[in-house]
């Protein structure tokens, strides 16, 4: 355990969750760049540590959704059935194929850039209430799970905006996507832990850092949800969107430079 580093991770997890929760974005999207550029967590350890952040930080929001009775069980089941095998495939791809730091930076840029564009775009027309069929949802969740297993976001942050763009309401999508992200992240952490038993190098999660960041995210996410009506959502979306695009550009320059 590195106490100063873990305390910094706690503060970072808190700050990230505080500003991302009100705009409906997973804090893990922005925690990974901090791991890469500030905390110097070696790859591919950054990915399972990011997943561990999800595991620790998400339960408070899940409990809040459960108390409000907002969980669509059919949608959640389809997302879990797709994302869980996807995140395992993503873990295998990460440790066997995407081991080069520059290749991973390009992948991170490929995740951050669309997130930034989604955050910066103007609100679209009202949701239609339509939803894709269960097979399409599972296929989409599988692809998102693969991406999440490589990057460390579980998949919900990827599949959620797609389902909303397809016509589903945010109120329906968000709880189901969060549950799928939590379950997939739990499975992903276990997958990386098992892979670390047979593979050399830093493959398993950094347990102390991931738990510390997750506890910060747990508190920050709760406070962000409480303060949401008082926070300038549009300004936060623009700030995070510009930050995501800036980080994406930085990683492309670093990878190709």
Average pLDDT over every residue of 195-224:
92
Please give the pLDDT value at position 6.
Answer: 93
For the segment 54-69, the average pLDDT, to the nearest whole number, is 82
What's the whole-number average pLDDT of the chain?
87
**Per-residue pLDDT averaged across 86-108, rounded?**
92
pLDDT at 125 over 70: no
Q: Which pTM does this prediction carry?
A: 0.88
pLDDT of 126 over the 60 cut = no
Query: Which pLDDT does position 175 carry in this prediction?
Result: 85
pLDDT at 222 over 70: yes
Judged by average pLDDT, the poorest of 70-84, 110-124, 205-219, 242-256 is: 110-124
When comparing pLDDT for 213 and 238, which is higher?
213
Residue 43 pLDDT greater than 90, yes or no: no
SS3 of the chain: the string is CCHHHHHHHHHHHHHHHHHHHHHCCCCHHHHHHHHHHCCCCCCCCHHHHHHHHHHHHCHHHHHHHHHHCCCCHHHHHHHHHHHHHHHHHHHHHHHHCCCCHHHHHHHHHHHHHHHHHHHHCCCCCCCCCCCCCHHHHHHHHHHHHHHHHHHCCCCHHHHHHHHHHCCCCHHHHHHHHHHHHHHHHHHHHHHHHHHCCCCCCCCCCCHHHHHHHHHHHHHHHHHHHHHHHHCCHHHHHHHHHHHHHHHHHHHHHHHHC
Start-to-end CA distance of the chain, whole Å, equals: 34
Distance CA 163, CA 160 (A): 5
Name the pLDDT band for 124 (thresholds 50, 70, 90): low
């Amino acid at each position: 355990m590195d106490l100063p580093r873990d305390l910094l991770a706690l503060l970072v997890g808190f700050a990230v969750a505080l500003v991302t929760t009100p705009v409906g974005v997973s804090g893990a999207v922005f925690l990974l760049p901090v791991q890469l550029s500030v905390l110097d967590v070696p790859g591919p350890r950054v990915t399972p540590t990011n997943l561990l952040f999800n595991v620790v930080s998400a339960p408070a929001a899940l409990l809040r959704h459960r108390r409000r009775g907002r969980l669509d069980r059919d949608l959640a089941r389809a997302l879990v059935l797709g994302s869980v095998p996807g995140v395992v495939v993503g873990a295998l791809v990460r440790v066997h194929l995407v081991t080069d730091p520059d290749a991973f930076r390009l992948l991170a840029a490929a995740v951050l850039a669309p997130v930034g564009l989604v955050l910066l775009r103007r609100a679209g027309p009202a949701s239609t209430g339509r939803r894709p069929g269960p097979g399409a949802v599972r296929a989409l969740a599988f692809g998102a799970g693969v991406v999440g297993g490589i990057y460390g976001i579980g998949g919900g942050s990827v599949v959620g905006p797609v389902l909303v763009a397809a016509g589903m309401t945010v109120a329906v999508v968000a709880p189901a996507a969060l549950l799928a992200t939590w379950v997939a992240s739990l499975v992903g952490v276990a997958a990386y832990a098992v892979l670390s038993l047979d593979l050399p190098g830093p493959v398993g999660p950094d347990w102390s850092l991931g738990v510390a960041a997750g506890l910060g995210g747990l508190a920050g996410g709760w406070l962000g949800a409480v303060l949401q009506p008082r926070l300038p959502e549009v300004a936060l979306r623009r700030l995070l969107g510009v930050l995501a695009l800036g980080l994406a550009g930085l990683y492309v320059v670093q990878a190709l430079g």
